A and B are shown apart, each in its own frame.
Chain A
Amino acid sequence: HPSTRAGAGQDVGRSCILVSIAGKNVMLDCGMHMGFSDDRRFPDFSYITRSGRLTDFLDCVIISHFHLDHCGALPYFSEMVGYDGPIYMTQPTQAICPILLEDYRKIAVDKKGEANFFTSQMIKDCMKKVVAVHLHQTVQVDDELEIKAYYAGHVLGAAMFQIKVGSESVVYTGDYNMTPDRHLGAAWIDKCRPNLLITESTYATTIRDSKRCRERDFLKKVHETVERGGKVLIPVFALGRAQELCILLETFWERMDLKAPIYFSTGLTEKANHYYKLFIPWTNQKIRKTFVQRNMFEFKHIKAFDRAFADSPGPMVVFATPGMLHAGQSLQIFRKWAGNEKNMVIMPGYCVQGTVGHKILSGQRKLEMEGRQVLEVKMQVEYMSFSAHADAKGIMQLVGQAEPENVLLVHGEAKKMEFLKQKIEQEFRVSCYMPANGETVTLPTSPSIPVGISLGLLKREMAQGLLPDSKKPRLLHGILIMKDSNFRLVSSEQALKELGLAEHQLRFTCRVHLHDTRKEQETAVRVYSHLKSVLKDHCVQHLPDGSVTVESILIQAAAHSEDPGTKVLLVSWTYQDEELGSYLTSLLKKGLPQAS
């Protein structure tokens, strides 16, 4: 009984879903929990198999995109827990993953007692196990299991995956975005009608305020700060939002004719350019066009940052890495500027617990920095989400596109998911599930199994004057042969021949006792005339040897060895006529009508 099973969560922590489909086991994403810094940050893989080897159990791992809550536990899983099988992700994800994992490792190493954390070498070894997939390319994991990636928007290289075994399939969306933004296009998928669609539901209820609103808000904050002579620090991750915000500021500066300098952290432009050049097909059309004309990071107003600039007086805007203020340039600048209330830091992304970014976002104003000093944060701290997730409308749109038989919601909060679940069930009339973390959902599927029909059998059918017609299903009798995982329907004669078997006739017999003092022959005649009158549609015959037949059913009358007043009727029939045979027996058991 094939089934599709998934363990997932109502949680925006880490994503790690296990799908069993037609005997194949696939792990979807392998994320760490952004909120925990202890054992709980990684999924507990011992739930998958207690003592067996993971490599034997799992057929493959698929990573949807490079965010840590989707790939953060991967090196731990592949290099420390010991999974040695294939890992699939898109090429940009493979290229960018190590950068984030290194950032993450840094944060962990920084803490005490993190000796048992993955090393740089492990991150590299893990990345070497990756098999990069292209969009819309069907990848054959093994003879039965195939996967296919679709564009998901969200971040550079993010993909949705279709997992297919035979006629059964699951689609996993990862995080996605149904509206194009400044640097990425919208998610898109075939009408692939999977048995199950597993979709994120981060913004399950919000029909998000227009993106333009958030952009305006961002520009207003930056502008105000610069106007009153303050400095704005925007800690960014090398890719993604950074480019979007740069394009935004550049346009705004141009229109408002602003003079305050904007800087981009050292090495960042080269790196970003490098990746965008590599992965230009993954961006949106507008960027693709621009890129042909000019280097997309040759901005008029945005220049490379030098360490010394941080001390110069007057307003400025600086984009600096890393995005969580845990090290490097962004942290250095933050330390310099934190004490002045005129300044502002805008955090455009999520921060891992324990980082300076996380601390200031959770409202801490006195930070204990290295070297025993306390840094008082007087500058303004703003959090702005530009995260590109699908909202309720987008999720509904995707469900409409893919036309799944069932929907499973993950990566969201229970209450919001409940709302969406009802909406989906109403509108699409499909079942919708929202398992809690650690819960298993089992879905029965009815896979169509192809069966070959032998020519002989078909010809026999045709001989009856009926041409095969897909619109009119018909009953066809034959023998089903299962051999070498092939299914064939053949005539019984052919089956006997192929399998080298002799034919046996199976007959059922039954004795019916009748109270009749006459001779056997006369009893037979009475039976004959009785049956002849009752069974008008059947061929009832009285044979010369005295026996009576109805179709294949044979009835003989015999004398009873002990009781001369009783006759015994021997009824026998083939299994094909089982129905008629039992009917006849019960009929005869009621006795014969009195001779009139």
Chain B
Amino acid sequence: GSSLLLLQENPCLVELLFHVLKSQDLSSRILSFSLRLAGIFAAQENCFQYLQQGELLPMLFGEVGPLGGAAWTAPAVRSGWIQGLRTLAQHPSALRFLAACGAVDTIFSLQGDPSLFVASAAGQLLVHILDLAMRGPAEGHRSPQACDWPACAQKIVGHIEDSLCSTAVPQVTQALSVLTTAFGHCHGLWTQGLWVRLSPLVARLLEKDPVPASHSLVDLLLSVARSAPSSYRGLWETLAQTLSHLSPTQAGPLALGILKLQDCPQALRTQAFGILLQPLACVLEAAAQAPGPPGLLEGAAGNSMTVDTLLSSKSACVGLLCCALAHLGLLQPLPQRPSPWPQAPLLGAAVTILRLCSGSAAPTSDVGSRLCAILVGCGRVQRAALDFLGALSQGTGPQELVTQVFSVLLEYLVSPESSSMVLKKAFQATLRWLLSSPKTPGCCDLDPHTQLFLRELLPVLQKRLCSPCWEVRDSGLEFLTQMTRHWGGQAGFRQALLASEVPELTKQLLRDPESYVRASAVTATGQLSSWGLCATPASPECPGAQQSLLVELLHILSTDSEGFPRRAVMQVFTEWLRDGHADVAEDAERFVAGVLQAASRDLDWEVRAQGLELALVFLEQLLGQRGSRCPYAVALPETAPPGVLAQALQVLCRVQLFEFAFRALFDCDRPVAQKSCDLLLFLRAKAAPCGSPQEAGDSPNMASVEATLQRWQAGEQGQPLGYLEPGAVVALLRSVDLEGLRDTLAESSDHVEKSPQSLLQDMLAAVGVLGENEADCY
């Protein structure tokens, strides 16, 4: 109703559309906009009728419109035309209009548009129209035969049928992708009829060699299978047929899709799993020195198609192996993964592939040596295999194999041939295996195998920390941090680590030229220090070794020119304070004061935000935990007992926490201000019972403080707040409208810009300024 009213009350709108049609030299953007606008109006049936009275719609969307003109060459216009129709197609009148004005034929041809966006939108529009036509009262009773289908739907389905039978692959692809969208998005009963009618044609595609548009075919079948597989007759058979007709590379994604389905016949699952396993089975068989342990796939191991693909060319081999590894890796953690899961042979395959890649395996068979020649030094397969190996750490394996896993990982970590990305993945996989290694029952320490491995690993890590490549040093440090976080308390780990030079090297990396590495070194030393593992054995002459780390980190915080190391320092400090690190606990007050002072001067917003996090931890230690963080929790935070509170406020004043927090409250970076606001609200709630408002509020001191705050708010933050008495602080907390501030801050920084007024302002401003600005990026 409202749209109609709008059109009736503002005849200029319709005039505009007419004007657009008449105008000769119109920009494609305006024409595109007009088409979309007309579509929006015509989406309501009464508006549609209103526009039809003036015969406006055929002029816009029919053959006499832009469709026939020169403007049509602009993709923006074609796109606007489609979007306009997409919005318009909402009611039966629209359907009749579409059929009458010949729009459907144009949409057919737009499916092959040179613009991806237009082509894709055209396909979607067809589905939308089909859905609109087929839904409705008669839906459930429609037979698969077309006799009682609406004309519009018959036309579209006929077109799809023709396309499916076409010898031109692009046509087939278009038809398949329209169907994919239809089965993926439309849930009406009519889709079942559509499947009955079209599935024979789809199945006929499989008889061609090679199967045309195989990617799109896989997309379609999975889309159907995901929607409601049991209601589509013959689907499972089609899926099975497709699996056996596609090449191993093409069948992989389909196999994975099938295995991810919730309910699906066991035979099909077995077939699909076989396809994923085949490449690995081939590798295992080819690399076997003698007929060894049972392979991955009994009997089917030597599938000739897979072997052919693997040996046909390097890129085919690499592609197939990478896909198989990635697909199996994705499957591994899923609850619906095939059971029994062939953990041991898979482990064997991953190890074998890694060995073939590194050249340390020398198979004697023909296929084996050919594979070896292809894979040696291939980074892509190495990365994929390491990822897969990492994923396999979630399961167990026979000790012999696990030993092989660790030895191949070590081989990669040692090898000078490993690229930085391969090393990163090797570190990640090693970490996963280490952390999943079983604990010796009844003993909390590491098992002997792990212990042994660690002794070999640490010298390698040491070497990697000295790598000329920053990426490698960084990955090494990240690995060390993670390992320490989990094992810092294990005696075996501590022993091995302290016996190595790793802690000392880590400390040296605090002065690395690369800021990312410095940041990781900060995090790593912070973690080591938390467990008392940091550098230099506490020699009697130098008892302050630990203390010096704190000083060093403070130095980094106040002098490092890059943000990353400073942010890392703040994170370490926060963690130290939270965990009661010995050096911090010694004089927490001095520590907090020093850190806050450094953080408040920092230009990096995340350092300041982290400073507030640290302040909050300190507050909680003084006053007790914050209440539930749930914003809907009704319970107010408990107030602190007056004695504790007075004492706490004294401390907070001494460390100048308020100066820091109030400054942050008016910070020009919103997240900082938001955090500070939360912190002050928490403090105010805790301090509720402390004194009456008048006590300090009237003092002359108070007036000057409030004036300073106002100046801060206006952006002049030069002047310090000066020392505050606890009473003044409480008064101040009450006088500032924190709730109001919180609400404002919760709004997005561009909320003003998003408002209509702002849009208007932008448009007005654009008239004068634009043009020149548009084309420049720096």
Contact = CB atoms under 8 A, between A and B. Distances in A.
A and B interact: yes
Interface of A: 7, 12, 23, 34, 37, 47, 49-53, 55-56, 67-69, 84-86, 98, 102, 106, 109-113, 120, 124, 127-129, 142-144, 155, 175, 202-203, 237, 240-241, 266-267, 270-271, 274, 307-308, 310-311, 323, 327-329, 331-332, 335-336, 348-350, 353-354, 359, 361-364, 367-373, 375, 383, 385, 387, 412-414, 435-441, 485
Interface string B300-329: 000000000000011100010011001000
Given A67-B777, A274-B561, 20 more contacts: A47-B116, A49-B215, A50-B177, A55-B322, A112-B747, A112-B751, A127-B516, A128-B474, A175-B777, A202-B775, A327-B605, A327-B668, A331-B668, A332-B668, A349-B778, A363-B766, A385-B776, A413-B775, A437-B115, A439-B75
Best-buried of A23, A69, A112 by chain B (most CB within 10 Å): A112
B383 interface: yes
B667 to A, nearest CB: 7
B147 interface: no
30 contacts: A37-B750, A47-B116, A50-B216, A51-B253, A53-B323, A111-B749, A112-B747, A124-B564, A142-B315, A143-B315, A202-B776, A203-B775, A267-B603, A270-B561, A328-B668, A328-B669, A335-B668, A353-B753, A354-B749, A362-B769, A364-B758, A369-B715, A370-B749, A371-B713, A371-B744, A383-B773, A436-B74, A436-B76, A438-B75, A440-B114
B222 interface: yes
Contacts of A129: 421
Most central of A113, A332, A367 by chain B CB within 10 Å: A332
Given A111-B750, A128-B475, A363 B764 contact: yes
Contacts of B313: 485
Contact of A34 (B420, B718, B764, B777): B777
Interface residues of B, number: 84
A102 to B, nearest CB: 7
B673 interface: yes
Nearest 10 A/B pairs, CB to CB = A363-B765, A112-B748, A335-B715, A438-B117, A349-B778, A438-B116, A354-B750, A368-B752, A436-B75, A372-B744
B752 to A, nearest CB: 4
Nearest to A358: B753
Contact of B666 (A12, A98, A311, A371): A371
A372 B665 CA distance: 12
B605 A362 contact: no
Nearest to B673: A370
Contacts of B420: 128
A110 B420 CA distance: 34
A387 B778 contact: yes
Contact of A364 (B222, B667, B718, B761): B761
Nearest to B669: A327
* Residue in B216, B222, B516, B740 with the greatest tally of chain A CB atoms within 10 Å: B516
Contacts of A362: 761-762, 765-766, 769, 773
A208 to B, nearest CB: 11
B219 A50 contact: yes
A372 B745 CA distance: 8
A328 B602 CA distance: 9
Given A128-B424, A354-B753, A362-B766, A266 B218 contact: no
B671 interface: yes
A127 B470 CA distance: 11
Given A51-B219, A354-B753, A437 B775 contact: no
Nearest to A106: B605
Nearest to A485: B313
Contact of B75 (A47, A53, A437): A437
Nearest to A347: B773
A587 B606 CA distance: 96
B603 A329 contact: yes
B717 interface: yes
Given A47-B120, A240-B778, A362-B769, A110 B740 contact: no
B716 interface: yes
A387 B75 contact: no
A119 to B, nearest CB: 11
Contacts of A47: 116, 120
Contacts of B773: 350, 361-362, 383
A436 B777 contact: no
Given A12-B774, A53-B323, A274-B561, A328 B715 contact: no
B778 A237 contact: yes
A308 B668 contact: no
B714 interface: yes
A98 B474 CA distance: 15
A9 to B, nearest CB: 10
A214 B128 CA distance: 54
Interface in B701-730: 713-718
B432 interface: no
A203 B714 CA distance: 42
Contact of B777 (A106, A328, A350): A350
A84 B765 contact: no
Given A128-B424, A271-B561, A332-B717, A51 B222 contact: yes
B686 interface: no
B670 interface: yes
A110 B669 contact: yes
B118 interface: yes
Contact of A440 (B116, B471, B776): B116
